[in-house]
Amino acid sequence: MLRDWFRQRLDQKPRGQARVHRPRRSRSLRAELDCLEGRALMAATSAVAWTSGGVTHSAFYAIGPNDNVEVSVDGGSFTNLGGYAKQISAGLDAFNKPEVYAIGADNAVWLNKGSGWVSLGGYLKEISATVENTIYAIGTDDNIYVGHGTPGLGWFNTGLKARQISAGVDGGNPEVYAIGFNNNVYAGNGSGGPSGFANWGGYAKQISATVDSTVYAIGADNAVYKDSGSGSGTGWVSLGGYAKQISAGIDASFRPFVLSIGLNDGLWSNHGSGWVSFGNTYVTAVSGTSIANFGVSLPADTAYAVAQGHGGLQHEGTSFTSLGGSVQTPSGSAANNTNSWEPATRDTSAISWASGGVTHTALYAIGPNDNVEESVDGGSFTNLGGYAKQISAGLDAFNKPEVYAIGADNAVWLNKGSGWVSLGGYVKEISATVNNALYAIGTDDAVYLSYGTPGFGFVRLGAYAKQISAGADFLGNHFVFAIGADDAVYENTGTPNSWIDLGGYAKQISAGMNHVVYAIGGDNAVYENSGSGWVDLGGYAKQISASVTSAASGSLGSFVFAISLNDGLWSNHGSSWVSLGGYVTEVSAPAAGNFGISLPGDLAYVVGQGHAGFLHKGTSFVSISGGTIE
């Protein structure tokens, strides 16, 4: 049965978006509304503040290296709360005591008030807690749900679909803000159904809410915006700047302000009259104390952050204090302001190649120290060193494997097996393919092309991209697909400002060979486009990765892997979904290769629960020794 995938499109696009070639679209699927879980924004840290006996306290919760939850109170050492968390969010209970919620391994919500974990049930994709035991969540149907921190009470469906949520406070009462299917911001408390939410407009990449009915957003131009006021808001005010990530905070007078990570990877704050730099300390994530009860009086510019190297930091006044520990970050080593609902994995990347008539594969992965590791044909990991925010594997002009990385300086770095070489630039996302070709999203959200040679720079291909995925044909010609500002899919073959509109509404894309692209649609099903419109493959996918069985003249077998609701691995060769089992957190298949490759059935690399790497082929998983994947 065909699913309605194409969604209602935006009438407005961000300022400065390049115009693209838009041929007539296939009308085989109808338009409707939707949205999703914003995986790039899944939080591994969360902070909260409260008063007790007239004294203000704050707590910083973080996901540790073993997926456990840790807490630091008032800047003290971390205490292990145990559990297993995919995401966390801190709030206050009905007595203004701190509590933390987590999405567990079973995708249910779990609550810890300091004396152990209790399940609240459900199957949720994102959570955001606030005051009065209230938690908001996005369900598998992408609707916003409300819970009240009590086992057995269940979840109330608000009916509004959302791609990201952030809970705040309105005069002591809980409220939630959401980025909707149309990239607008919505505000409400969860009552009254979808019509109970007011559309505050705008175009948001990320939002962060706090007290006084205030929400901050990263706009399409990467500047920060503020809106406040109950009901329909008072209108968006530009605070300027360029933000990779934002988090709302509360000052000593219980007034909201905003923190951001800037282009220098440093921390900044804005109280309404301009941006103030906190110096050159390198941070990869920030959590302000955005939720608090009335009466809280925090030191100036209180914030918690994750340092380069994954240690926790507390900022007060003009200085940082180390909290120690080891804090996970949501994807790669930093949230780098890419704007995709369901971005492809950043921590792993696979490639295949044929040499001397033998097909080989390699998995590249980011290790726990942000170093890059390599496993060839399922062998033990070898440490390639470096520092990577994201990696992407490809083949050079001689069909030899190579790996690209976004470094700590946000430049692109290349390793062909004999050390790292800088290609320069400042990029937010990369996707490599064959013949030394690398595509990237720049700070202006346009797509760029590089050919892996230092000093030759990047060619600007234009457009406005939320996510990219590069591919190739069996003759070695490369191309790139992109999710545009309107959430449609576009293709470019390397020519500046020459984009083909493939239509659709995509949460994530993964390119295969010979101009095949797979997408997660608005209904979470998987779709395939091989040049003649979108074909519904069905299913429910959290993440996808395209693959190929062979690459030869007249013989090309593109197919797709998916992680589904059971967190297991699935494959689809065009007829139906087949369960491959396991519990996997990431999948990366070798989607491209040179002429002559022939891969075993259902070959893919995955990350298992516990951060170990596995090679799947045929019907079994084989553990890859010698490494841990971030």
| Cα dihedral: 11, 15, 21, 26 (round 10) | -30
Report domain extents, the chain.
43-324, 348-624
- Compute how many other C-beta atoms are within 10 angstroms of the C-beta atom of residue 299: 13
**Angle at the Cα of 521 from the Cα atoms of 6 and 391, rounded to 5 degrees:** 135
Confidence at residue 595, expressed as pLDDT on a 0 to 100 scale: 73
Confidence at residue 28, expressed as pLDDT on a 0 to 100 scale: 27
Q: In what order do the strands lie in the sheet with 319-324?
A: 283-288, 303-307, 312-316, 319-324
CATH superfamily of 43-324: YVTN repeat-like/Quinoprotein amine dehydrogenase (2.130.10.10)
Confidence at residue 23, expressed as pLDDT on a 0 to 100 scale: 31
Task: Write the pLDDT tens digit of every residue in 497-534.
Answer: 999 999 999 999 999 988 999 999 999 999 999 999 99
Confidence at residue 333, expressed as pLDDT on a 0 to 100 scale: 37
Q: How far apart are CA 269 and CA 259, in angstroms?
A: 4
Please, what is the average pLDDT of the chain?
A: 89
Mean pLDDT of 418-436: 96
| DSSP bridge pairs for 509 | 519
- 443 pLDDT exceeds 70? yes
- 88 pLDDT exceeds 50? yes
Cα–Cα separations (whole angstroms), residue 544 to 77, 343, 415, 485: 39, 9, 26, 21
Read off the pLDDT band of 230 (50, 70, 90): confident
Task: Write the pLDDT tens digit of every residue in 376-386.
Answer: 999 999 999 99
Read off the pLDDT band of 32 (50, 70, 90): very low
Task: Write the pLDDT tens digit of every residue in 552-590.
Answer: 555 567 899 999 999 999 999 999 999 999 999 999 999
Task: Write the pLDDT tens digit of every residue in 47-72.
Answer: 999 999 999 999 999 999 999 999 99
Q: Is residue 195 helix, strand or coil?
A: helix
Length of the chain: 630
pLDDT > 70: percent of the chain: 90
Give 615's Cβ-side CA count (13 Å radius): 24
Confidence at residue 329, expressed as pLDDT on a 0 to 100 scale: 79
Q: Is there a shared CATH topology between the 43-324 domain and the 348-624 domain?
A: yes
Mean pLDDT of 276-297: 95
Q: How far apart are CA 205 and CA 383, in angstroms?
A: 35
Confidence at residue 594, expressed as pLDDT on a 0 to 100 scale: 74
Confidence at residue 400, expressed as pLDDT on a 0 to 100 scale: 95
Confidence at residue 26, expressed as pLDDT on a 0 to 100 scale: 31
Confidence at residue 627, expressed as pLDDT on a 0 to 100 scale: 80
- 4 pLDDT exceeds 70? no
Cβ burial of 372 (10 Å; 0-12, 13-18, 19+) is buried
CATH 3.40.640.10 fits 348-624, yes or no: no
Q: Closest by alpha carbon to 403, among 389, 387, 424, 420? A: 420
Q: Are 434 and 478 in contact (CB under 8 A)?
A: yes
Q: What is the DSSP letter of 222?
A: S
pLDDT > 90: percent of the chain: 83
Confidence at residue 331, expressed as pLDDT on a 0 to 100 scale: 52
Confidence at residue 42, expressed as pLDDT on a 0 to 100 scale: 62
- Compute how many other C-beta atoms are within 10 angstroms of the C-beta atom of residue 319: 11
Q: Which two tokens stand for residue 394?
A: 């490809």
Confidence at residue 231, expressed as pLDDT on a 0 to 100 scale: 84
- Rounded to the nearest angstrom, the gap between the alpha carbon of residue 462 and the centroid of all alpha carbons in its chain is 23
Q: How far apart are CA 118 and CA 101, in angstroms?
A: 10
Confidence at residue 481, expressed as pLDDT on a 0 to 100 scale: 98
